[in-house]
Amino acid sequence: MGQITVETCEIEGLKVITPTVHGDHRGYFMETYNYNDFKEAGIDVEFVQDNQSASKKGVLRGLHFQWQYPQDKLVRVIKGEVFDVAVDLREGSKTFGRWKGVLLSEENKKQFFVPKGFAHGFLVLSDYAEFCYKCSDFYHPGDEGGIMYNDPDIAVEWPTTPDMELLLSEKDKQQLSFVGYKKEKGLN
């Protein structure tokens, strides 16, 4: 594969991508996305929107998903460090309800491909972080759903420290439980 190395995960569909970094005394250059390389790696997705957010230490965003217009996402960190999480919500999947976490940072330059059918979230570990993500569908107001970041049935092991104050949006403080999500989807 051209300019990337792709690591498959224990949950089918999730992939960790490491770009080839060309550096010298002046700095570095890397391709963060090349359709041909990604297609060769099994990620044949047309991305239609790029988003970027900035957050301070302790901000936890997620676990978000889309009800009617699911999105593939390719996420990376350009400043700081985050713990990024995907939860399998694909009906009939043998890993339904399981999660995978990946450390993304400006140093390791890794990217995480999260396909449709997953909830997604991240926790900022550095004092400040800038997070970028490509999406395969446009944002549809009112279509976003979420599951509580600390749901006991999913049991994400967020790498918090005793001195870390978690900062959540009001919306993320009131997300569904995993049981509530399954009930909404008629999956009991």
Q: Is the pTM of this model over 0.85?
A: yes
Q: 4-185: which CATH number, 3.40.50.261, 2.60.120.10, 3.40.30.10, 1.10.10.10?
A: 2.60.120.10
- Please state, rounded to an integer, the average pLDDT across all residues of the chain: 96
Reading the block at residue 154, the tokens are 């999913």
**Per-residue pLDDT reduced to its tens digit, 68-102:** 999 999 999 999 999 999 999 999 999 999 999 99
Residue-range domain boundaries for the chain? 4-185
Q: Among candidates 115, 31, 117, 36, which has minimal Cα distance to 73?
A: 115
For 66-69, the CB contacts below 8 A with 24+ separation are 66/137, 66/140, 66/143, 66/144, 66/145, 67/143, 67/144, 67/145, 68/140, 68/143, 69/137, 69/138, 69/140, 69/143
* pLDDT 10s digits, 133-187: 999 999 998 999 999 999 999 999 999 999 999 999 999 999 999 999 999 999 8
d(CA 120, CA 101): 10
pLDDT confidence band for 2 (50 / 70 / 90): confident
H or E, element range at 185:
helix 178-185
Mean of the pLDDT values across residues 28-32? Answer: 92
Tell me which residues are annotated as active site: 64, 133
